[in-house]
Chains A and B, each alone.
Chain A
């Protein structure tokens, strides 16, 4: 009997990495194989009867190839006009060329755009076009002809694979855990499985069938739960509550993002709240291990910078009025500078770096200018040099970088142990709960990649990294069909933020980058980070405009009484 159960456990150790790979492959395949057919919102018709579909809420018309609607005429400027749909469904034409060569009927753009109605006569330079707005009924007809996700690669099966993965993980823990802790662990994994299936059925009930993003997040959260089980089994309940809070934030923010108008209306209040939060942190923050990035409110400790991440993406994307307008960019730059500065003051160098790279992504996506990015990088390098001279403990981390084996008993303590433990795991790990790295400081946060590699093996460790990367590919792919620049920029910023955080965590722990002590998205133990990651996921979910894919994208047939469509 003992030999039998031993064999089962050994087999589980080999099956789990395969399952992890399979889950990832299914998510990738679903992403690659599903057709991403764009939505259609209106048409432009030429005199000759040719039509061009308008597929986004913001379309650029001009002679340049990069325009959404290309008119190859000498008389038309490279970027001539913008066609913009408001959240209420009204269309306006904005002349981007100051010569005033665009008009609707006889009306010219006075700087606020010219409103368009169905059948309007649009003149772009000497080209005459007719604008056809689609009625709600027509749009619904076009929409239902698009293919929905989940038909080729069943999301239920992927989720089932994940459930088996969770069950095997719980089984592996039976070997290493004490009886009391084992019960908590098994209940914890069961609760996670129940949560994900509840989520699945609720989404199916409201007719949503895209689950790739959530499956990846649930996969990573499973590993997070394994980390808690092995490092601090008594914190299981707390971690579950935090996970549920994260999912709640995900749902709430996703629902909020459905309405672009209200989203944009709240941008400055959100920015103000973020700054206030950071200011409070600066004033009342607790210092722990060099960085004073903790705040203790009524017995609950939290890391404000994690919540500010969500606000930062929100503000960064929402403060863009419309394309080719720079006005709010400076407001955003000021906001970014304050955020990064505040984090640097707190000594949270890792978070400052994450914000900075996210700033670069948002700035580039908004301006399209590499020059801006280079300027920003140059400015940042100077800033970093300043920080290094002011904060000796950060300078020391740079000195240790790539030299951890020179000082395994000092500055390289964590990384050398991390590498040693991670290598001991090989491809399949020493078994859940069987490792020793958990006794090393910050094994469940900063060193979490090494911990996973040690106990579950390099394959699952890399799968965790790739899960985040797949999220990024997914985001970029759905970006092509985004309704509005807001969703695309927010989703890309959110995924970039996660990847930078991932890179700093993973490569910091294995000494490929300086050790900055940031968290692994979804996996590291810690509530603020977990909640913020689920929050960021909402931005990615809101950019998925496939037919019936995302709860955070309002469908044409949805009448949820928010008045925007009415």
Chain B
């Protein structure tokens, strides 16, 4: 009997395997539970593919969207609904990068302990609805993207994309003005960057050309490269590198680009986040592009000036600008209020400071401080030729101001001159941000 007894433990081997299986399941449950819960067939979370619970507010508690037992509400006033549409998203799920879709797990109020909550979760975005309204109004019917963030905390305070529509009334899909209306142009679009890309070429030049500051760049208004003329915005004569940036001199940056070569430029474009796959709180960002052109070619020169086939997502430019403002380190960025955002170093402190001081010089020397009253602005404008005779207006920069640590990026599609259009919009937004704080 003793032997049968000890053989009875065979049954315990099976028991041990079952227990081991339970442990594996619990680990998978903790690990993958959020993903399982958000599966579109989960009727505890979705009804006809739409979230059934959850509340989205801006950083001040202003209601942006709410679902309760399958009944949906958006913000009370139309301007907030329209200007915050892309940030908050819509209940139909058309705006894939909106909070309602991107943070559905938080809105479902899921936790492994309490499961899916009946009341749903509340999500507080870092967005300030008032700034979004200002930005959207300032776009004045033009298509474009406006981003503003606190580069100390990493929180994005303004994210407005135009065109937009009132989710309570919808829009006329036959109207060509609403083309691509579901797209959040801040995160999911990429544009020819034009001169703002010179900030990337500049970073590569500072770190790779030893005597950059001793150099003198000569501009005759056009640079002949392998028989192709690279036109400049003016005739700038002899310039230091600071002056070349402030003049946004194509000749100088053509020379620099040729000297650095396509590999170095591509390497910096990637390192600084322009051609790398970025994520914002899990939202996929549109990856830009930088094609390596042949050595010594005009294409290579143009690629360093932000033309050729270069494409940049406004968010990537904001992130890079915030890194320059933050001494090479970018905090966050994040769309979630109160989230402890980590930092990522993408530039050395020295390079960042050098670029920052040149961006400050831009404003003093070229853009005119009177255009930005009271702001300690560092910026770079861009007027990117779209190839259809119009230009995208870019303006990116930050306030060198500990009390108002704002970095921003403004793009207006076919908006004309960068400074005059995007710069003016940036000023309106910054004034509002500084006044509101």
A-to-B contact residues, CB < 8 Å = 55-56, 58-60, 66-68, 323, 357, 361, 364-365, 368, 408, 416-417, 419-430, 435-436, 454, 457-458, 462, 465-466, 468-469, 472-473, 475-476, 479-480, 482, 485, 488-489, 492, 495-496, 499-500, 502-503, 506-507, 510, 512-513
Contact = CB atoms under 8 A, between A and B. Distances in A.
Contacts of B14: 357, 361, 472, 496, 499-500, 503
Contacts of B168: none
A423 B29 contact: yes
B4 interface: yes
11 contacts: A66-B3, A408-B41, A420-B37, A420-B41, A422-B29, A429-B115, A475-B8, A480-B5, A488-B1, A506-B22, A507-B21
Contacts of A361: 10-11, 14
A59 B1 contact: yes
Given A364-B7, A424-B37, 5 more contacts: A417-B39, A423-B110, A472-B14, A482-B4, A495-B11
Interface stretch (B42-50, B179-187, B209-217): B42-50
A526 B270 CA distance: 61
B20 to A, nearest CB: 10
A435 B15 contact: no
B3, B4, B25, B26, most chain A CB atoms within 10 A: B4
B5 to A, nearest CB: 5
Nearest to B6: A66
Given A365-B8, A457-B115, A510 B25 contact: yes
Contacts of A465: 18, 22
B39 A416 contact: yes
Given A408-B41, A422-B29, A472 B4 contact: no
A412 B214 CA distance: 67
Contact of B115 (A408, A425, A469, A488): A425
Nearest to B118: A430
Contacts of B2: 60, 66-68
Listed from nearest, the 7 A-B pairs whose CB atoms lie closest are A426-B115, A436-B43, A479-B8, A56-B1, A423-B36, A423-B33, A424-B44
Contacts of B32: 419, 423
A424 B116 contact: yes
B4 to A, nearest CB: 5
Contacts of A425: 115-116
A482 B115 contact: no
A448 to B, nearest CB: 15
Contact of B21 (A56, A365, A506): A506
B437 interface: no
Contact of B18 (A489, A499, A510): A499
Nearest to B12: A476
B173 interface: no
A512 B24 contact: yes
Contacts of B7: 364-365, 368
Given A417-B41, A421-B44, A423-B29, A489 B114 contact: no
B8, B19, B33, most chain A CB atoms within 10 A: B8
A503 B18 CA distance: 6
Interface residues of B, number: 42
B4 A488 contact: yes
Contacts of B174: none
Contacts of A472: 11-12, 14-15
B153 to A, nearest CB: 32
Contacts of B6: 66
B112 interface: yes
B71 to A, nearest CB: 19
Contact of B4 (A323, A417, A468): A323
B11 A492 contact: yes
Contact of A488 (B8, B29, B36): B8
B17 interface: yes
B176 interface: no
Contacts of B19: 469
Interface in B44-70: 44-45
B44 A475 contact: no
Contacts of A364: 7, 10
B115 A427 contact: yes
A368 B33 CA distance: 43
Contacts of A55: 1
A485 B3 CA distance: 10
Contacts of A423: 29, 32-34, 36-37, 110, 112, 115
B28 interface: yes
B113 interface: yes
B11 A430 contact: no
Given A323-B3, A430-B115, A476 B8 contact: yes
B44 A60 contact: no
Contact of B39 (A58, A420, A436, A492): A420
